Amino acid sequence: MILYPTIELMNGHCVSLVRGQIEEPAIWHVDPVAKAQEFAHAGAEWMQVTDFDAVKGSTSNRDLVLRIIRGAGIPVQLGGGFRSRDRIEEWIDLGAGRIIVGTLATQNPHLVKELASRHPDQIVLAVDVLKGQVMIDGWRTQSAYTAEGFLDSYADTPFAAVIVTDVGADVGSGDASLGMISALAERTQLPVIASGIVRTLDDISRLRLLGEVSGAIVGRALFNKTIDLGEALKQARPGRAHVAEFI
């Protein structure tokens, strides 16, 4: 299982959302670029960056995101406000390893399917779920899709992966979140990345033992130090041999 250590950005700062509330972020006073490099140094294969200002249409973090992509040393999966072909292809050209689409996938399925076919292994579908419904616009609006119906509508689309987020995980049962993510993972042949569920090393072990989940996003737990990334990577892939670095 691949772990995706995650940086969430707002106003140039690393933040975390509690209960999906974009209006009330927890702010972490760390350098985002240095944090990205720390992830790579710990052995992460990928990382994720989510730009919450971009969700609201702002480009204020553009230069910072570019510095992270160019300085991290590992590929970056980038999310936040991707609502057009031009912006998606611009960031692919700028070096983003993958682009995450969610709201656009509910509004223009034809375009998203076309982009996924045109950019194999670079488009990721976000399925953000609250009480069984897909949430859009940075989790602020409930779409007309159920999670199952949304995933089924993209059954034959060649996405790089699907990110399933339990938006209500902060207030719900961990077992319920795990069950929901597992059930959706069984509905698709695509790699499924779990989000919103990892708080401890035990959570990583439980996801790995499921077998259906190929990856997990870890964000706030790294910043509040309830999880050490090095230990988490070992837990996610316990049989992985050390790979020497060549200079």
Active site residues: 8, 128
Which DSSP letter does residue 135 get? E
Rounded distance, CA 89 to CA 82, Å? Answer: 10
Residue 57, burial from CB neighbour count under 10 angstroms (0-12, 13-18, 19+): exposed
- Quick check: 217 and 6 in contact, CB under 8 A? yes
How do 13-17 and 25-28 pair as beta strands? Answer: antiparallel
Would residue 138 be called left, alpha or beta, if left means φ above 0 and alpha means ψ between -120 and 50 degrees? left
- Quick check: 221 and 199 in contact, CB under 8 A? yes
Partners of 48 in the β-ladder: 6, 77
For 236-242, the CB contacts below 8 A with 24+ separation are 236/1, 236/2, 236/3, 236/204, 236/208, 237/1, 237/2
Q: Which of 2, 16, 1, 33 is nearest to 219 (CA)?
A: 16
